[in-house]
Amino acid sequence: MNRMSLNKRAKGLFGVLLAAAMLGMLLISPVLADSEDDEAVELYKQANEYLNHRNYERAAEHFSNLYELHRDNSLAHRSQYLEAYSLYHLGGKKHLRRALGSLDGLKVLDLSRDLAIDSEELEMRIDAALSNLGDAESIRRMSEYVVHLEDLELDTDVIVVGETGVQFDGDYEAYVQLAEGDDVVVTNWRSGKSRRERKKERERERERSQEIEQKLIALQHLMQMDPDRGVPIIKKLMANKSDEYAVLRERAIFILSQYEEESAEEIMIEALRDDPDPDVREQVVFWLGQVGGERALGVLEEIALGSDDESLRESAFFSLAQIDDEQTSGVLKKIALDKGTSEELRGKAIFWLSQSDDGGDVELMRELYREVESIEVREQILFSVVQTDDEDESLEWLIDIAKDKDEPMLLRARAVFWAGQLGDIPIDALGSLYEDAEDDEMKEQVLFSLSNQDTREAITLLMELALTEENAELKTNIIFWIGQSDDERVPAFLEDIIFH
């Protein structure tokens, strides 16, 4: 069978599948007798009337209002579902994503069996629609849906997503193609779990979450009352490296961080070295920064300087910035100057250095700026200097950078922008910067800074620039900024622009 005939047949089967799947939602005849709230019943009838006349926008609005105003009413859950159904028919990414949001709200509720099934089937249809629009998240979710086609007495297990074909046999390459604009034919769909199995899994997961919360509450109380007894229990818990215990281990790190004893720190450091879960390790790095101390500082320094895990290194930068110690600024400075470290990490080290008690000074930022060569890292330094405590000195230095014709124009423009966030740049300096600017980006930044000042001097300069600027786009922007001012000269100036 050729690809075209397969697609044609598959499209027909998919239509049958979805028609059957949506049977429960197309026959919208809910029983209103269970509701004793006349206002809710009236709202529901109005919404249903809009739905029957295919006025999906008004239907969605009314179903949403019913749910918000009458959440305890027996019609509320059905209304939330029908809101999603109406939004689905409106189409487009915006409405489809809102529809998924409404269905997500139903997942945590104890729904009737029929409504739960209807909601799952509507979610499948919405994800299929979003997949055809190239939504990557829906494309991934589509691979997790399970449809037992044998229940519908069909002779194939092919589901079509889209118009033309790419065969999908278990990996994500076809989905990547769909995300880039191609449509996909999905095959081998019945390998997953049944709806009943998924429902049981959700129930077990809910029970598991409750069990975890109970254990954590008990453990926290035990640590408060008898920490000598609680620490060995946490140590035993941390020794269980299974995925099921990952959440417990992660939360146990917080409990340990509140216990100022060497034994607790030892358990945390051990978890950092051998726990398989990245979230647990990042929790340790964070809380070591709050605990402080010589040993914690040594461990954080080791991670910041040499870990292969960039995410963990970034967490260590943050934690080091929380410790009031000159050594921390030295570590972050060393990373900022290390050409072997990625520019992204160097930039983040500079940012956290600017936040630290010992590293947040303008002179240090100047020193780093002189020593690094990367434009991207220098750009991060300009941003970071704004975070320091000395605003006057920062402003002065940023203006110097903006005026320096030996600096790349990109950095000069960034300096103007950040200087404008700190305070008013002298008008004569802005005038000179505009006159000397070699590209439009620099001029745009000068205009933005002038518009933020909204002083008589700033408006005067803008008016002068409006009369002399030859670039039509820039001139339009200048006139726009002038029009935002309350200066009494503006109306006459704009009138003159109009007639002359």
Q: pLDDT (tens digit, 9 = 90+) per residue, 86-136?
A: 999 988 888 898 888 888 878 767 777 777 777 877 887 787 778 667 666
| Residue of 390, 389, 386 whose CA lies nearest to 401 | 386
H/E stretch holding 184: strand 184-186
Q: What is the reported pLDDT for 359?
A: 54
Residue 273, C-beta contacts closer than 8 angstroms, at least 6 positions apart: none
Residue 488 tokens read as 């009494």
Q: What is the reported pLDDT for 140?
A: 59
Tell me which residues of the chain have a pLDDT lower than 50. 1-36, 143-192
Q: What is the reported pLDDT for 196?
A: 65
Q: What is the reported pLDDT for 281?
A: 92
What is d(CA 116, CA 123) in angstroms, rounded to the nearest whole number?
Answer: 11
Tens of pLDDT, residues 303-361: 998 888 888 998 898 888 888 777 788 888 888 888 888 888 888 888 888 877 665 67
Tell me the pTM.
Answer: 0.50
Residue 240, C-beta contacts closer than 8 angstroms, at least 6 positions apart: 249
What is d(CA 226, CA 210) in angstroms, rounded to the nearest whole number?
Answer: 24
215 phi, psi to nearest 5 deg: -65, -40
Residue 4 tokens read as 């075209």
Residue 137, C-beta contacts closer than 8 angstroms, at least 6 positions apart: 130
Give the other-Cβ count within 10 Å of 179's Cβ.
18
Q: What is the reported pLDDT for 242?
A: 87
Average model confidence (pLDDT) for the chain? 76
